[in-house]
Structure 1
Amino acid sequence: MNYYIITGTSRGLGESFAKQLLQEGNTLFCISRTENEGLMNQAREKGVSLEYIAYDLQDTTGIDNLMDQVMSAVDTATVTRMALINNAGTVAPVKPVDRSPRTAVMAALHINLAAPMLLTAAFIDRTADLSIDRRVLNISSGAAKNPYFGWGSYCTTKAGLDMFTRCAGLEQKSQANPVKIIAVAPGIVDTAMQEKIRNTDEADFPNLHKFTEFHEKGLLTPPDAAADKVLRLFLSEEIEPGGIYDIRDAP
């Protein structure tokens, strides 16, 4: 049995990851603030086990308990793979750093960086005694490498997530059964995040016209197509612990 833990499955890329992993032999744990009724219905129709855990990743104090809840449902006698997909993220606040609300900055730090770090740490710790295939996927962004006016929080947290991936991967390379932890930038995906970007004030985000053009010219990648490419890379045997990938470079 393969177990997949996916954050941010209420819509967008996270929803697409879950849809594509709704296959025989898989069990899914979907973590988001709101349940996705469509996913739950699909799981029932396909006879695939899907458990929804309502949790706000801004609250990092309960993450150990969250992982304990997941692990209590894992059949260690039949498990062959466990994977964690840290997909949840927020682009807010889209404002210059001196005008970014403190609460929004802290939310971005928790959702984009602290929660994935703590989930990964708990995942590695609680699966350490299992001689199985273990993987962690962190969703990165081109913003991890390129600064954008008004995206101080987003760029910083994604850059931090990339470096965390590299550090954790370096540590895993010395283990007998290393966790294959990687970060992947999925490209410019047609999600609610993109819609939120297009609705920002150009004074806060001078690159607004560029992202509006992406939408108007049909240059955004559909979530299902992006999820397919990311999962094929993530589940391949070509990845190395600590690898940082951009899906646009993948064949």
Structure 2
Amino acid sequence: MASHAHPVTRAIVTGHTRGLGAALVEALRGRGIDVLGVARSRRAPDDSPAALPGRFEEVELDLSDSDALAQWLAGDTIAAFLRGAERALLVNNAGTVAPIGPCAVQQPADVGRAVALNVAAPLMLSSAFSAATAGLQDRRIAHISSGAARNPYAGWNVYCATKAALDHHARAAALDGEPALRVASVAPGVVDTDMQGEIRGTDDARFPQRERFAEMKRAGQLTSPRDAAGKLVDYLLSDAFGQTPTADIRSL
């Protein structure tokens, strides 16, 4: 029987193959937590150190395809993975900053894909996770949010809107009073990932604040994925998690 101090914990992480998601997998496994990663591709065979204590499984699934996601969620993969857990975690990390630019230059299909990936997938996963963990005494959902959820940026109307949706989902879900379910939408700060590279590579006309992010990179002001993931996991496992529906790692 697991001790109260170290409950058997299993975590589901989306967008786990690179950047913050990959770092979250290592941070969780380093604490002995089993992880199920869900993303449109698998990690490279040599990109997941076997020496870490937590078990690691992967599912290859395009989270921007809502029909495919619904079909997968109708199966028993999540329930089977979580079987025997005393504490269950869901980290909705997958997301996209595209399309960048004002409404007139956005392709409607790209807008639809962004909303499906950034909003529909986390909300669908949250519903399935909540149902699958109904009997557990400790279950936690973390949406990876952004400062863009709380502050508007020119050129990021889709990104800002989709991240704000996650924040408001957490606020409303917290009012539902589901037993033992904690939900929080957490901004990790400006993390040095491929997404930041995409932002710096955007034309100034589409994203007027591009230079600000480029200067942060030059000045060494970006947080490493490993540091951000460590802080996020510390918070996710803490008693403080879920006490407020939105949080920013930089102010914790």
For the criterion TM > 0.5, the same-fold answer is: yes
What fraction of aligned residue pairs are identical, expressed as a percent?
37
**Structure 1 segment 196-215 matched on structure 2, within 5 A:** 196-215=198-217
Summarize the Cα distance change of 1:101–1:56 in structure 2 as closer, same or farther, 3 Å threshold.
same
Correspondent of 1:9 among 7, 10, 16: 16
SS for the counterpart of 2:183 is strand
CA distance in 1, matches of 2:51, 2:234: 24
Residues 163-199 of structure 1, C-alpha deviations (whole Å, 9 max, x = no match):
011111111x2x3x23111010000000000000000
Name the residue aligned to 2:127.
Answer: 121
Distance 1:218 1:133 in 2: 38
Partner AA of 1:139 in structure 2? I
- Report the Cα distance in structure 2 between the residues aligned to 1:53 and 1:74, rounded to whole angstroms: 11
Residue 239 (structure 2) aligns with? 237
Q: Which region of structure 1 is more displaced relative to structure 2, 118-127 or 46-55?
A: 46-55
Local SS of the residue matching 1:52: strand
Aligned to 2:235, the other structure's residue is in SS state helix
1:111 maps to 2:117: yes
What is the alpha-carbon distance in structure 1 between the residues aligned to residue 158 and residue 172 of structure 2? Answer: 21
Q: Residues of 1 paired with 2:189 and 2:82: CA distance?
A: 35
Kindly indicate whether the alpha-carbon contact (under 8 Å) linking 1:15 and 1:39 is maintained by their aligned counterparts in 2. Answer: no
Counterpart for residue 178 of structure 1: 180
Change (3 A) 1:47 1:232: closer
Secondary structure, counterpart of 1:22 in structure 2: helix
Mapped contact 2:28–2:54 kept (Cα < 8 A): no
Question: What's the TM-score, normalizing by structure 2?
Answer: 0.91
Instruction: Output aligned runs, 1:133-152, within 5 Å.
Output: 133-152=138-157
Letter in 2 for 1:239: F
Alpha-carbon distance, 1:134 to partner: 0.4
In structure 2, what residue type is equivalent to 1:4? A
- Seen in structure 2, the aligned counterparts of structure 1 residues 38 and 243 have a Cα distance that, compared at 3 Å, is farther
Gaps of 5+ in 1: none
| CA distances 1:63-91 after superposition (whole Å, capped 9, x unpaired) | 34434343342363x31111100000100
Q: TM-score, normalised by structure 1?
A: 0.91
**Offset, 1:125:** 1.3
Tell me if the contact between 1:92 and 1:104 (Cα under 8 Å) persists in the aligned partners.
yes
- Residue 25 of structure 1 deviates from its aligned partner by 4.3
Q: Is the Cα–Cα contact under 8 Å of residues 20 and 226 in structure 2 kept in the other structure?
A: yes
Do the aligned partners of 2:32 and 2:53 also contact (CA within 8 Å) in 1? no
CA contact (8 A) 1:29 1:52 kept: yes
For 1:51 and 1:16, the matched residues in 2 are separated by 15
The alpha-carbon deviation at position 145 of structure 1 amounts to 1.2
Asked if structure 1 preserves the Cα contact closer than 8 Å seen for 2:28 and 2:233, the reply is no
Shift of residue 235, structure 1, vs aligned partner: 1.0
SS of 2:241's equivalent in the other structure is coil
More moved, 24-33 vs 134-143: 24-33
Separation in 2, partners of 1:85, 1:239: 13
Aligned equivalents of 1:32 and 1:185: distance in 2? 20
